[in-house]
Amino acid sequence: MYGKLVDGNLEYASTKAIITDELIITNPQYEDYVKAGYKPIINNAPQDAEKEYIEEYVEEDDRIIINYKEV
């Protein structure tokens, strides 16, 4: 799964195509996502589904991490 942060919101990349001003890439690979500004997403999903959480994003040079804060 790939995405990028836009104004603090996580925008997921399509798994079928990446459309840019210059071209359309079908069946994108890792290099295509990186060139389009997307990063791999690491999702640290909470184990306790009974509680309520909000997502917090941490962007690093090579990935985006989703952590969850209990409300």
Domain boundaries, position 30? 2-70
φ and ψ at residue 18, rounded to 5 degrees: -115, 125
According to DSSP, the residues that pair with 15 across neighbouring strands are none
pTM of the predicted protein model: 0.85
DSSP designation for 37: T
Q: What is the pLDDT along the chain (71 residues), one digit of tens a residue?
A: 999 999 999 999 999 998 888 889 999 999 999 999 999 999 999 988 889 999 999 999 999 999 999 99
Number of independent structural domains in the chain: 1
Contact of 66 with 41, CB cutoff 8 Å? yes
Tokens of 25: 């890439």
